[in-house]
Amino acid sequence: MLVEKVIKIPVYTFNFRMYPNKEQSELIDGIILALHKACNMAVYDMFENKVNTIERPDQKNAGQTVHFPDVKSIAKKQYLDVLRSRREDIKLIPAGALSGENGVFLCDLSKRLDAQVSGENSNKKTNGKGVKRPIENSKPPYYSKKHPRTSYTYQEFLRKMSFNEKNKNVAYFNLAKIGKVKIRGIKGYLKNIWFDSSCMMNFEEYVNLHKKQQILTTVKKDNCGDYFLQLCMKDIYKIVKVEEEKRDIGIDVGISTLMTLSDGTKYDNPRFKNGKDGSVRQHREMLNRQLSRRQGYSNIEFRKRLSELRKENVELKPSKRYIETKVKKAKLERKVTRQRKYHMENMVLEVIKRSDFIGIETLSVKDMYVKKNKSEK
């Protein structure tokens, strides 16, 4: 017999598909590109011009000084005004994305600088924590053309969200510098029951009750060219029905099977299909062959000519058919990712319902790996 009992499973983000018009999509792309340029300009000023740095004496060389990054000074108003004066497109970026503590400009720069300046991979004696090193001994973490920015984050009020009375699956969100954008996917959240401060309500009731609350809003563009809106909220939990007689369960992660429980229950690895096209593996191989043909790598003469043009720094634009095939492959990978995520969430919820205490092994490859020299000794 199932008894309704509140288990606090936090729901941090709500993902919605956005449907902007042509002008709004161009504005979103312009904001993402402007933020890309602003981050690179801030990194250049820090590493080349030694702006927003702290000068300290060098411990190795007496009488000399080295520079360490000062990330908090990047988000100050004086420096942001300098960035806006250099490029006009930086003025399109919402103020919260640049100056706020939770804005993507400051948070993302601090993460990229920590990865380059902290020395996590260079010093193995610190157990992965690393020791901070000066700017002179690290590479500047620029954004490249191959791996550009795809999103931006800022704080927004919940009152900017409005619902459609006729179609419950449609809603509207008023984004800063962009305007009112249509979003879909509300219907799935209306069916579920959410727990918030000792009362139950659905998503629409929560938004109408907390209109003055500020939330982290992320606008994202994926590889397929589709736009998504992510809302990060707090103190929202999901209600799950659990069994009266619960027991302790141990989990063993395997290779042939995804995992095996201590009571003998096995969960096989999922095999995803692509509808009528057959297996995902065959469809992926077919798309890879089409990409190689349409890019011209199968022709030896074209590859020689392509290497010559790259030496001359000539920019080559891909063909329309190549871009279409690339989008098809990105949609296939997105479909597999969603199926895998849906499968894992259902599997985890099933295990939580059946057990009170869950024990899982920690597999560390470093502890298992033994060098040949040590084994011979």
Domain ranges of the chain: 1-245, 277-335
What's the mean pLDDT in 156-178?
Answer: 89
Give the C-alpha separation, 277 to 233, whole Å.
39
36-88 pLDDT per residue, tens: 888 888 888 888 888 888 887 877 777 778 887 777 777 777 888 888 888 88
The beta strands (E) that lie in 198-321 are given as 199-201, 214-221, 227-232, 237-243, 247-253, 257-261, 266-268
The 8 Å CB, 24+ separation contacts for 355-364 are 355/246, 355/247, 355/248, 355/249, 356/246, 356/247, 356/248, 357/248, 357/249, 358/248, 358/249, 358/250, 358/251, 359/248, 359/249, 359/250, 359/251, 360/250, 360/251, 360/253, 361/251, 361/252, 361/253, 363/253
- Taking CA atoms, 350 is separated from 1, 256, 345, in Å, by 15, 21, 9
Look up residue 273 and give its amino acid.
K
Contact between residue 329 and residue 283 where contact means Cβ atoms under 8 Å apart:
no
Q: Is 349 strand, coil or helix?
A: helix
More confident site: 103 or 260? 260
Average pLDDT over every residue of 106-116: 73
Question: What integer best gives the mean pLDDT of the chain?
Answer: 76
Residue position matching structure tokens 């500047």: 140
CA distances from 202 to 9, 137, 197 (A): 15, 53, 13
Rounded average pLDDT over 97-113: 72
Three-state SS at 256: coil
Write out the DSSP string of 52-73. Answer: SEEEEE-SSSTT-EEEEE-GGG
Q: What confidence category does residue 122 fall into, taking pLDDT thresholds of 50, 70 and 90?
A: very low
pTM above 0.75, yes or no: no
